Structures are given as structure tokens and as C-alpha cells.
Amino acid sequence: MELGRQIASRLKEATFERVVAAGLSNAEINGPRIQRSVLELSRLRLGAGDSAIVVGAGPSLHRRRSLERLRASGYAGTVVAVDGALGACLRAGVVPHVVVSVDPHRERIVRWFGDPALSAAPADDYFRRQEMDPAHAADELSANRALLRLVDAHGASIRVAVATSAAPEVVARCAAAGMELFWWNPMYDDYDRSESVSLRLHRANGLPCLNGGGNVGTAAWVIAHAVLEKRRVALLGIDFSYPPGTPYERTQYYPELRALFGDRFAEAYVSLEHPVLKERWFCDPAYWWFRDVFLEMAREAECRTVNCTEGGILFGDPIELAPLEDFLADVRAGAGVTPSERT
């Protein structure tokens, strides 16, 4: 087995190691702010019908102009966005019904909501390096100021499905922007075990535990079907990978892979040909793990999942591939999307 897949096979335990301490620490700080459970979202009228569109922050989102096309369509269903896609959504005139945030990082994630404390370009090149939101890559300070204004303007009409693991800075920013917060616990481990972290956390705050699948995009998809009970869920910007030709230096885990493997770092990437585009996309071990987990979870879900990303590596049974317009047309017609690979 190639190196990247070998690493991916060990990331379930590694992720626990990575997030549990920070997640529990943040949960303790966030405790006094917790008022509403994510389950309350299902009782709100968030979009028409039984469909939802989950918006991730992958490179196809702007390459395919997915949000502009969604805005032009007049789609009336539910829109659930990851935190990293919030800025792109608002700039395109798409105000998501729900934004999902989970990552415990204390400095980075608040930037997706506009960081009121940012006064100089930080040494951390996380945002400049990647293609998740090109607006941030171009001019971080201007982008941050514009995002602050946008989020402040629309905050009152956006609900945040926020994990107790989220950074307190994110929670404070969302509250200041007038967003309503709906809380959940990340499922850290098997709650049936007596020493379970999930069990302990649930006993402490009474919140449901959500199986997040490794990343915020998958968590947003879980919220769309398991919390909001949508039965047709389309994905936009869920690439789990980088387009052909992307320099390694501009990938999410490049510094870590370089530090771990030195000159052999490139061997840790995995590539896969998109069955419709015939392009070879590539990914970090983490993204490969996300893909594997998503496919496993999708087989257990009763919703139909239609990947309208039009790029990336998330395909295979039971996920359908279709252009966004096909999904929207079928929603309007009240029909399901015929399984196809029509991207």
C-alpha cells in the first residue's frame, strides 16, 4: 500500500489524539454560553422541501462558480455551509440558513467569520497558502475587514450549528454578530464504553453527540440529513483534494508532511482520476481518510447524496455525481436525481 493510504488508515486514532484535549478545554470554556441544542434546528422552518445543499470550501466552489449559479437559480431549499465557505457565500449573495463550525483552533477559525482582533497579516500562512478562499489569499487584512462587515450585516439571519469544541473566539464573534448558536458535542469515541469521553461530555452538558466524519464538511452533511432530516442532499465545494497542477507548497498539510518525511514528502499524497472530468486530483492522507469515511457513512444514510462539486475525489457508491443544475431541476420537479455521472 502506498504511503499516503497507509497514513490515512491510521488517522482515526491520530485525530482523536489531535483534537480531544483542545476540544474538551474549549467545551469547558464554552459551557456558560450553551443554551440551545442543535436538535432545536429541526423545529425551525429552514428552507422549503426535503432538500438541502451543503457548501464546503473546496477549490471547485470558485472554479465552478457554484455559488453564483446557486444564487441565480433561486433555490428555495435549505443551505448549510461550513465556516470556511461563509465568506464566499455572503459575497455571492447566498445567505446560508445554517453555518457549521467545529475546529478547536484558537486563532485560525475565527477568521472565517471576520476576526475583530486582526490588525496585521499574521505570520501563520494558513490562509495565504491555500485555495479555500482566494479572497483571503490576495489581501488578508482587506478581506478580513470586508468579511467583518458582511457577517455583521447578515448575522441575525444565520444560525450556527456550533460544536462545543469550537474556539471560544469563534463563539464570541458569532454572538457579537447576532448569530443564534445551536450546540452539539463532537462524538469523540464509543459512548457505550464506560470510560468514554463522549459519554462524560454528554453527562456534563446534556447535548447530543454528532459523528463528524473527520472534518467540518462531513459534519455539515450529517447535520443536513440527521438533524434537519433532509432526504436529498447536494454537495458543493466538497473536493477533499487539490486540482491538478496545484503546487505542494499550497496544500493544507504541506508543512507537516515536509517536517515528517523530508524530501520524500510527495510520496504521502494520493491521486485519483475523476471519472467524468478525466482529471487527476490529488490529496493529503487526511483528505483520503475523509473520503473513505464519507463513503462509509453515506452507505448508512437514508438521504440521497448528490455530489455537485464538479471536481475532486468524492465519488463511488452510493454517491451520485451530477451538475448543480440537474439537481436543482429535479428538486423543482419534486423528483430524485437519477444516479448518474453527468458532471
Size of the site for another protein (CB under 8 A): 63
Q: In the complex with another protein, which residue's Cβ is closer, 119 or 194?
A: 194
Interface with another protein by CB under 8 A: which range of 18-26, 64-72, 270-278, 327-335? Answer: 18-26
- CA-wise closest residue to 93 among 109, 108, 75, 110: 75
Q: Which of 133, 169, 180, 284 binds another protein (CB under 8 A)?
A: 284
Q: Which of 210, 270, 314, 324 binds another protein (CB under 8 A)?
A: 210
Cβ–Cβ under 8 Å, residues 211 and 297: yes
Gap between the terminal Cα atoms of the chain? 30
- CA-wise closest residue to 276 among 330, 337, 322: 322
Strands annotated E in 28-131: 51-55, 78-82, 98-101
In this structure, what C-alpha cell is assigned to residue 27?
Answer: 467545551
Q: In the complex with another protein, which residue's Cβ is closer, 70 or 167?
A: 167
Q: Does residue 301 belong to the site contacting another protein (CB under 8 A)?
A: yes
Interface with another protein by CB under 8 A: which range of 101-109, 132-140, 152-160, 328-336? Answer: 101-109
Assign residue 316 a region (left: φ > 0; alpha: ψ between -120 and 50; beta: otherwise).
Answer: left
Q: In the complex with another protein, which residue's Cβ is closer, 31 or 275?
A: 31
Q: Does residue 13 belong to the site contacting another protein (CB under 8 A)?
A: yes
Q: Does residue 169 belong to the site contacting another protein (CB under 8 A)?
A: no
CA distance 13 to 202: 21
Q: What residue has cell string 454560553?
A: 33
Q: Which of 24, 54, 158, 163 binds another protein (CB under 8 A)?
A: 163
Cis peptide before 318 (omega within 30 of 0): yes
Interface with another protein by CB under 8 A: which range of 72-80, 138-146, 147-155, 203-211? Answer: 203-211
Q: Does residue 285 belong to the site contacting another protein (CB under 8 A)?
A: yes
Interface with another protein by CB under 8 A: which range of 25-33, 133-141, 175-183, 278-286? Answer: 278-286
CA distance 126 to 250: 9
Q: Does residue 256 belong to the site contacting another protein (CB under 8 A)?
A: yes
Helix/strand number for the chain, H first, E second: 14, 11
Cβ–Cβ under 8 Å, residues 184 and 38: yes
Interface with another protein by CB under 8 A: which range of 46-54, 123-131, 283-291, 305-313? Answer: 283-291
Residues sharing a CB contact under 8 Å with residue 172, sequence separation 6 or more, in sequence order:
none
Residues in touch with another protein (CB under 8 A): 7, 10-20, 39, 102-105, 163, 165, 186-192, 198-199, 202-203, 206, 208-216, 218-219, 222, 225-227, 253, 256-257, 259-260, 284-286, 289-290, 293, 296-297, 300-303
